[in-house]
Structure 1
Amino acid sequence: MSSSTDTAPAPAAAAPPKPGAGLLRRLVETPEVGVVVACVVVFTALAIDKSTFASAVNLQGMGFDLAQYGLIAIGESLVILTGGIDLSVGALLGTSVILASWFNVRAGLPAGVAILFTLAICGTVGLIHGLAVTRLKMPPFVTTLVTYTVAQGVTLAITSGTSIPGISGFFSDLGQSYLAQIPVPLVLFVIVAVAAWFFLERTYQGRQVYAVGGNAEAARLAGIRGDRRVVSMYVTSSLLSGLGGMLVLGRMGVGSASGVGVGWELSAIAAAVIGGVSLMGGQGRIMGIVAGAVLLELINNGLTTLQINSNYTQIVLGAVLGIAITADRLRARRLAKRR
């Protein structure tokens, strides 16, 4: 006869997690995985449709373009991480092309000195941006919009609508050379991306940038000198615009501002947002930014390879940017609900 004190059967032991399940879940939850997959899908589709798309010549051409757009995308992203925005990156890139040409040809300075002078001016512009935002509390949008307008005016004033020929061959060596069949500008872009990744992910100052962008007041109460981080990011953004200008000048072989940098700030912002950088600041990683820049280059080059009217490129870019911003706001709302 059974006793009333008989114990209930013990519950079955939980099934052990499948090997690799945790890794797969973390991979799926990684914010950048979506844009990386999109890059693979777009590249594969275009390569299947057009065999010339995956040719060595076309890939090298994309490498040159990616370096130019990617540099200003990284600079733009660093500013956005602090909760700001830099609308001057494209115009400043175009101005740096003219400044370097003028220093080299009209002022007769060696190419290396002309580059240093140009980068010094770009860095000073970034310093002014940072001080205006932190000390004068001017809105970043307005501050950098002023520079956007002034930079375009300076470019036209220096050139009077004409180009500056006769630049040093050093610029061509910088903007058109290869290292083991890899474009030198692409190598420089990778170096800058790795340096930015190391700064943000592996240094105390980099973590402070996220803290300032996430909650400036909390960062201040924690003893973080947020103003310094904001200023340094604006300076870095302007310097990367200047560096991008040197690469563009090397590819063109002549100092011309015709269409150079116009609208590039939109591409930079799009690459950042597509890559997972929140427009509210404090969220985003370099891997996503690079993937966002790659995706935009694949789309731009793909439309050209498919011989689609270039006017539609801006439509596609605008649509992609709109989708990215919408996704950013939905992601922000989801995070707010979790908190």
Structure 2
Amino acid sequence: MKAVRLHEYEQQPTLEDVPEPKATRPFDVVVRIGGAGLCRTDLHIIEGQWAAKSNVSLPYTLGHENAGWIHEVGAAVEHLQPGDAVILHPLVTCGFCRACRAGDDVHCQHSDFPGIDVDGGMAEFLVTSARSVVKLAPGVEPADVAALADAGLTAYHAVKKATPLLFAGSTCVVVGAGGLGHIGVQCLRAMSATRIVVLDANEQALAMTPDWGADETVLVDGDHVEKVLEMTDGAGAEVVLDFVGEQGAQQDAWEMTRRAGSDFVIGYGGTIEVPAIDVISTERNVVGNLVGSYNDLVELMALNADGKVTLHTSTYPLDAVADAIADLDAGRLRGRGILVP
């Protein structure tokens, strides 16, 4: 089969032939990929940012946002049939550790993360676990929802954590109207009564946000932090959802967070530098966010089936992965890029 393989950090991945995976364990599931999302994390992987954390052996196949159709199942799998349309929770989890039994499977003590530390889904086929599979609603095409498997799940997970803090009359600032941000805004609108203020450096991206549920927009122009403070009577927002996390956005997010507020860090790449006295004296929080649970994905897909959360996507054939990466890296890509084998 064809697969997008990374051979060396700081070098572009290549499309090549590799053996097709098989269902060798009782709960294995082989999925024929219908769409694999391209994520900024893939750029960070290529740059080597994940090398020390993933400890993956190169070469390996990229792709951690995957959807498709059941192709083959292990001997113990009874609820899935070949041809079923599915989306995949990003992790392959054990089901037995404390985190899994608590429904917090993103922190499974014995997990694999296809596309991060084992072979992923930028390929014609992917092997995962029956525990990771969510069936799609009738009529939903895998390529249309693949990016919900990670980008959507991450945004939903952060919004779900923030929702108890977002009472009617509160303000939530969304930093970034791109691939994650456009999902986060929709989740906020579906799940809360907060005022949604979206920041982005791209006027075209901002122009799209009212359709997603944004109440107000602010162009990132050097004065944007002051504008947000003015909009909140100098206090700042109860919650800031930072979907950028680099190039200064991470510091802006902290500055826009009010006393006792929470700065949710979702995008990454930069460094947050906050004096300890500022955390103590204002009781502000910095909250990390990593993907989401299996149940989070089920809930997100329910919102998608109801038309409350949809994806803005651009599709590329698998052999155009270099073009897709270049478009994402240069900021030409609106929404999410999807590779279709």
- Of the two structures, which has the highest relative contact order with CA contacts closer than 8 Å and spacing of 6 or more? 1
- TM-score (normalizing by structure 2): 0.25
Question: Where is the helix percentage greater, Structure 1 or Structure 2?
Answer: 1
User: Going by fraction, where is strand more abundant, 1 or 2?
Assistant: 2
Highest CA radius of gyration, 1 or 2? Answer: 1
